């Protein structure tokens, strides 16, 4: 059992120095999001995370969710916590006021999201999906649909779910088979979806499922997929709830972790009258759904960050308390706490440096998202959107892979106690392991980055992003030279993959994962170096600055050293993947 | 639920080309261990692993072990499997005939051990400890102790356990408090030990606990620790069982994995009459226990290898069966199995290359162990013992870290199904995670390697080992040049740490983990390159040779690329660890 303390100072630091919060507050419509307001919001969120969410994280893991008489019941404390989130207006944070929102930046929303995820990942994945559903409906819904459902979703009074996966259609959604047959003003949905996160629960009085399905004459593949809104309870024209729709959770998965998040098999139309309403254009469902997915992908990246921060705190507390052994370099034979052992300290610094790198990446991405949504000029919006397009798969995959690694390091610091479930470190490790898988596996993210996102503009947005990063770091930084080399390597590898794609897309696919690692590692280097430099320019204390410099030096001497390794793999590694005959595996 | 197929061809390949089985069979006393005999033994072991052990791996995970009325009951099928191991004479494999052994090489014993660990890690850790106990008693026991206990341990009729850890004494055994007070021809033991693997079970009629404790006037720290033999049931002079001793399991830990391996809190002397017999000299218990630990450390390395092989097989089977998506580079839109996707193939090749590297390291280490035990000349024995001293912490730590990584990659290949416990991939991931922790954490192994093992001879045994490796790879190998560079890097970093130690042992500690990674990665490079080269010289088919070359090229372009990164961290990274103030973590 462990506590969580929201790292307010670190969050503020990243908001100020990496996300450039001041400039976010100058964006049209966000003028009220001054640093003072933002910091006040953070303090309130911290209380909720520390007191409400963290306290039910371990008990939720032990209890899990239940499926009783066709209805999911969440773990003890879930209902109370969810109500606190809704009552506090937290769900509505990033949405415009005219649809019931708080009109706050995504940058702040994701900073608060870090606290939710760190304190209770099983709980916090639910609101992520409702956020996505609200975004989706705001963008693609009809006026009537918005009138009936949107404000409820925005405020979290109702929840939203994402129903994509079927047994034979996971990464390849083109293979999905769920049917939607027109009948009057609606469609009748039949089919089964799997891995539906919070597919059912007892937290909200209604659940709005967004379901991908095919109409009878739809073309094969992804071009025949449409999107449907399927309420758990039908909604009358006055907004009141009508009868229950023909959709139900069939079973819950028994998972490695995230036990308190109900993962449902959902059955639509068992009795032939599951009513769904088309959202957006026929056969354009996947594009609409991607709004929801991109939102969720960034938030899954936040999960990687959050669980890593949580694991770091837990390991640090343990390392400070656990007395074992003595200082090898000293005559003093008094036992010391293990935080003093250089190898343990190395592990903690590795966790911490990576947490800071991830936080920088996520908050920066969110800041670009705010710019892409709020800037007045369309060309500027498009410019920053191109950053978001790169940073979404990067954040999702890089931060979730690191989330697992950091949670694993945290477990290791506990020694034998780490393997005992009671300690809590094992739960973080188990929970963290879903994030590289869901909302598009990290392999899919890497392909998206190295193939689609590079190829569409010949890597221009990567070069633009690098130029932006170079603009935001002083030339007198101790890290300028190695960072310049790393940027050059990233540019070079980008050009290499852009040139390679037309002749050999499979070779690019084989290099996609190392490319994503390279990209993330270099970005992390910028975060650490820029952070240290930016802090130096803003009059912090000497001890504070020394720590910033030291953590950056740690990252540059432990993580950035691998940049050339990834580059070598990108350049030389695809051939070995290609030439190996599959039959010989 | 998954099956396991012993990779006989791969095992033979590593025995032949990396461990040089032919030369092992020329060692004094091992003349009967001809390749023919060895291969026949492997075939028999494979049957047992595939049919008996693999079939109860998943059920054992679900059921776990039970503590009922002060007695541990193992999971269903455990008793039957254990009896099959004993009846087949498998426990006795590596021991001399005069103590009831089969007089077979450790090289073969660990190859068979790979099959046990791969098929059922929870089961197979038990025999590892009994092996260690037999070795320990053979080396340190009195004639009378050997007469009463040794053959029973050698043959596995009784089991042995290792009782080191206490709540406040883990990595620092000097802090242990269990007491041993002399009384007549024995001692009375009182104290509590934690994390005792198979501390109790219902598989054998007796259990021989080896317990570290202090006599009343013992010096403080590790120089006051003695070793005691504490039977569960006292043994009469005629070898029959007498009354139950005052030792019992108090509770079982609820662990992340390895559920079917009972991890006990053991209480000694609750009623004041726990009888123990001193083994070896007073206050020299730790040295004696290290015999057992070194044996167990190599076998824990085998667990890393075994679980990685198992995870690889499971992921490969899934990737061959799971149809999803299509070939990006082809006009053909027919869905393909995911093994055809370059990123999935890359993951499988990564798993496979690492499994081969690990297998080479383990089998090579075992071959050096056989030489160190069997060669006629003492100076030769000592020479190879110096290799074993290096390779034991390396095998333990490098293979178990990789075991977790490979199991994680295997889980990832399953996508969403990997996170569902029913699939089995998650169990491998959970099970794998203990191996970097027990029998000395991997941090402790790294310190042992980079501090003790390097400093005692100024790195000479590392240089000797590298010379040995260079002697065993042809100059016409495609990998000679990069391998030579890697060897030079390893030598250089070794010299660096040797020179650094006297002035700054803490800086060496901070670099110990990257040094171990460097060492393992370079050794793996030799394994892959030497394997490909050696196979080329022995008339295999062209397709076979192509695969050997391709997997080596994969390793060189994906793993060996990180050699320079680790070297940079070793040279430059310690300062960043040192300078960061602990209070600022």
Residue among B172, B326, B579 whose CB faces A325 most closely: B172
Model ipTM over 0.95: yes
Closest alpha carbon to A367 in A137, A134, A94, A96: A94
When scoring B419, B549, B566 by the number of chain A Cβ atoms within 10 A, the one with the most, hence best to mutate, is B419
* CA–CA min distance B144, chain A (Å): 36
Contact A344 B443 (CB under 8 A): yes
Strands B241-244 and B233-235: antiparallel
Mean pLDDT of chain A: 96
Distance of CA B522 to the CA centre of its chain: 19
Instruction: Round to whole Å and give the CA distance between B234 and B209.
Output: 11
- Chain B from 473 to 512: CB within 8 A of any A CB: 504-507, 509-510, 512
Here the tokens at position A110 are: 């994701």
Query: What percent of chain A has pLDDT above 90?
Result: 92
* CA–CA min distance A251, chain B (Å): 13
Residue among A257, A447, A568 whose CB faces B343 most closely: A447
Between helices A480-503 and A505-536, what is the axis angle to 10°? Answer: 160
Count residue pairs from A and B with Cβ separation < 8 A.
282
Instruction: Round to whole Å and give the CA distance between A161 and A129.
Output: 6
Closest alpha carbon to B394 in B371, B360, B433, B370: B360
Using an 8 Å Cβ cutoff, are A360 and A394 in contact?
no
Res A522 pLDDT > 80: yes
CB of A543 within 8 Å of any CB in chain B?
Answer: yes
Using an 8 Å Cβ cutoff, are B369 and B295 in contact?
no
Q: Has B439 been annotated as catalytic? A: yes
Owner of token pair 């190395």: A346
Contact A255 B434 (CB under 8 A): no
CB of A163 within 8 Å of any CB in chain B?
Answer: no
pLDDT score, position B478 = 87
Res A179 pLDDT > 60: yes
Contact A165 B561 (CB under 8 A): no
Contact B573 A558 (CB under 8 A): yes
Average pLDDT over residues A400-426: 98
pLDDT band at A153 (very low <50, low <70, confident <90, very high): very high
Closest alpha carbon to B302 in B112, B445, B447: B112
Backbone phi, psi, residue A163, to 5°: -115, 90
CB of A29 within 8 Å of any CB in chain B?
Answer: no
What is the number of helices (H) and of strands (E) in chain A?
21, 12
Q: Which residues of A touch B440 (CB under 8 A)?
A: none
CB of B321 within 8 Å of any CB in chain A?
Answer: no
Contact A443 B168 (CB under 8 A): no
Instruction: Round to whole Å and give the CA distance between A85 and B404.
Output: 37
Region of A252 on the Ramachandran plot (φ > 0 left; ψ -120 to 50 alpha; else beta)? beta
pLDDT score, position B1 = 53
Q: Which residues of A touch B579 (CB under 8 A)?
A: 546, 550, 553
Contact A553 B564 (CB under 8 A): no
Contact A345 B429 (CB under 8 A): no
Residue among A172, A256, A342 whose CB faces B421 most closely: A256
Please list, residue by residue across A455-491, b when 16 or more beta carbons sit within 10 angstroms of its beta carbon and e when fewer do.
Answer: eeeebebbbbbbeebeeebeeebebeebbeebbebbb
Bridge-partner residues for A197, per DSSP?
A263
Residue among B168, B505, B569 whose CB faces A557 most closely: B569
Q: Tell me the torsion sign for CA atoms A192, A197, A202, A204.
A: negative
- Chain B from 379 to 408: CB within 8 A of any A CB: 404, 408
Closest alpha carbon to B308 in B266, B274, B341, B354: B354
Tens of pLDDT, residue by residue over A204-257, are 999 999 999 999 999 999 999 999 999 999 999 999 999 999 999 999 999 999
Q: Which residues of B touch A561 (CB under 8 A)?
A: 564-566, 568-569, 573
Instruction: Round to whole Å and give the CA distance between A18 and A538.
Output: 13
Contact A430 B256 (CB under 8 A): yes
pTM for this prediction: 0.98
Q: Tell me the torsion sign for CA atoms B91, B387, B435, B47.
A: negative
- Could you give the angle at the alpha carbon of B271 between the alpha carbons of B268 and B276, nearest 5°? 45
Q: Which of A97, A331, A439, A572 is an active site residue? A: A439
Instruction: Round to whole Å and give the CA distance between A351 and B502.
Output: 29
* CA–CA min distance B508, chain A (Å): 9
pLDDT score, position A341 = 97
* CA–CA min distance A17, chain B (Å): 19
Instruction: Round to whole Å and give the CA distance between A98 and A87.
Output: 19
* CA–CA min distance A313, chain B (Å): 9
CB of B223 within 8 Å of any CB in chain A?
Answer: no
* CA–CA min distance B351, chain A (Å): 10
CB of B443 within 8 Å of any CB in chain A?
Answer: yes
Q: Where are the alpha helices (DSSP H) in B95-193?
A: 106-119, 121-140, 143-145, 151-154
Average pLDDT over residues A470-477: 82
Q: Tell me the torsion sign for CA atoms B114, B117, B123, B124.
A: positive
Average pLDDT over residues A310-331: 93
CB of B543 within 8 Å of any CB in chain A?
Answer: yes
Maximum Cα interatomic distance, chain A, rounded to a whole number of Å: 86
pLDDT score, position B169 = 92
Task: Specify the DSSP class assigned to residue A375.
Answer: -
pLDDT band at A147 (very low <50, low <70, confident <90, very high): very high
CB of A340 within 8 Å of any CB in chain B?
Answer: yes
What is the number of helices (H) and of strands (E) in chain B?
20, 12
pLDDT score, position A329 = 80
CB of A230 within 8 Å of any CB in chain B?
Answer: no
Instruction: Round to whole Å and give the CA distance between B499 and B507.
Output: 11
CB of A426 within 8 Å of any CB in chain B?
Answer: yes
pLDDT score, position A1 = 54
Instruction: Round to whole Å and give the CA distance between B44 and A585.
Output: 24
Residue among A345, A429, A543 whose CB faces B577 most closely: A345
Helix (H, G, I), strand (E, B) or coil at B159: strand
Q: Which domains does chain B have, with CATH numbers?
A: 8-154 (1.10.540.10), 159-287 (2.40.110.20), 292-578 (1.20.140.10)
Using an 8 Å Cβ cutoff, are B442 and B397 in contact?
yes
Q: Which residues of B touch A325 (CB under 8 A)?
A: 171-172
Res A58 pLDDT > 70: yes
Average pLDDT over residues A70-76: 97
Backbone phi, psi, residue A320, to 5°: -75, -30
Instruction: Round to whole Å and give the CA distance between B293 and B287.
Output: 10
Res A537 pLDDT > 90: no
Q: What is the mean pLDDT of each run of 10 residues along chain B (585 residues)?
A: 89 94 95 93 98 97 97 98 98 96 96 98 97 96 98 98 95 94 98 98 98 97 96 97 98 98 98 98 94 90 98 98 89 92 98 98 98 97 97 98 98 98 97 97 98 97 97 83 97 98 96 98 97 80 88 97 98 94 92
Instruction: Round to whole Å and give the CA distance between B165 and B194.
Output: 6
pLDDT score, position B328 = 79
- Chain B from 454 to 473: CB within 8 A of any A CB: none
Helix (H, G, I), strand (E, B) or coil at B167: coil
* CA–CA min distance B338, chain A (Å): 10
Contact A256 B344 (CB under 8 A): no
Q: Which residues of B touch A401 (CB under 8 A)?
A: none
Q: Which of B139, B439, B491, B579 is an active site residue? A: B439
In terms of C-beta density within 10 A (0-12 exposed, 13-18 middle, 19 or more buried), how is residue B272 classed?
exposed
């Amino acid at each position: 059992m462990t506590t969580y303390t929201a790292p307010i100072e670190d969050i503020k630091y990243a908001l100020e120095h990496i996300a450039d919060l001041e400039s976010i507050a100058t964006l049209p419509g966000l003028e009220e999001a001054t640093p003072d307001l933002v910091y006040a919001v953070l303090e309130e969120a911290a209380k909720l995370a520390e007191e409400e969410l963290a306290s039910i994280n371990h008990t939720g893991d032990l209890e899990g969710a239940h499926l009783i008489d066709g209805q999911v019941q969440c773990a003890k404390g879930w209902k109370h916590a969810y109500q606190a989130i809704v009552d506090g207006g937290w769900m509505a944070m990033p949405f415009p006021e005219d649809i019931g929102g708080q009109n706050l930046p995504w940058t702040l929303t994701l900073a608060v999201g870090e606290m939710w995820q760190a304190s209770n990942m099983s709980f916090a994945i639910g609101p992520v999906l409702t956020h996505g559903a609200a975004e989706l409906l705001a963008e693609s819904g009809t006026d009537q649909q918005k009138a009936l459902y949107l404000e409820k979703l925005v405020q979290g009074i109702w929840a939203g779910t994402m129903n994509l996966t079927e047994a034979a259609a996971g990464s390849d959604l083109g293979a999905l088979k769920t049917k939607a047959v027109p009948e009057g003003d609606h469609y009748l949905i039949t089919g089964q979806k799997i891995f539906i996160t919070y597919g059912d629960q007892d937290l909200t009085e209604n659940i709005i499922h967004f379901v991908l399905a095919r109409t009878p004459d739809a073309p094969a593949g992804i071009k025949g997929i449409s999107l449907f809104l399927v309420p758990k309870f039908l909604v009358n024209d006055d907004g009141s709830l009508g009868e229950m729709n023909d959709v139900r959770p069939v079973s819950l998965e028994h998972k490695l972790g995230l036990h308190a998040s109900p993962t449902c098999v959902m059955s639509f139309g068992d009795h032939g009258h599951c009513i769904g309403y088309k959202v957006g254009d026929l056969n354009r469902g996947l594009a609409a759904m991607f709004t929801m997915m991109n939102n969720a992908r960034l938030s899954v990246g936040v999960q990687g960050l959050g669980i890593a921060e949580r694991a770091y705190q837990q390991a640090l507390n343990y390392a400070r308390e656990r007395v074992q052994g003595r200082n090898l370099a000293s005559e003093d034979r008094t036992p010391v706490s293990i935080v003093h052992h250089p190898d343990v300290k190395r592990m903690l610094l590795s966790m911490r440096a990576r947490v800071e790198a991830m936080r920088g990446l996520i908050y920066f991405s969110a800041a670009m998202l705010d710019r892409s949504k709020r800037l007045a000029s369309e060309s500027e919006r498009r410019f920053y959107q191109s950053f978001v397009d790169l940073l979404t798969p990067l954040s999702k995959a890089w931060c979730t892979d690191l989330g697992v690694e950091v949670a694993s390091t945290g477990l290791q610091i506990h020694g034998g106690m780490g393997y005992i479930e009671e300690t809590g470190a094992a739960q973080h490790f188990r929970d963290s392991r879903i994030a590289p898988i869901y909302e598009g596996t990290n392999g899919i993210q890497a392909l998206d980055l190295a193939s689609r996102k590079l190829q569409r503009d010949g890597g221009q947005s990567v070069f633009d992003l690098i130029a932006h990063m170079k603009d935001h770091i002083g030339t007198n930084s101790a890290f300028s030279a190695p960072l310049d080399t790393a940027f050059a390597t990233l540019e070079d590898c980008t050009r290499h993959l852009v040139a390679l794609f037309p002749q050999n897309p499979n070779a690019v696919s084989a290099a996609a994962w190392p490319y994503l690692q390279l990209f993330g590692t270099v970005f992390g280097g910028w975060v650490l170096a820029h952070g240290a430099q930016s802090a130096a320019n803003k009059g912090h204390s000497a001890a504070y600055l020394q720590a910033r410099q030291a953590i950056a030096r740690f990252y540059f001497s432990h993580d950035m050293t691998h940049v050339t390794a990834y580059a070598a793999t990108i350049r030389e590694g695809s051939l070995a993947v290609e030439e190996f005959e599959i039959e010989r595996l």
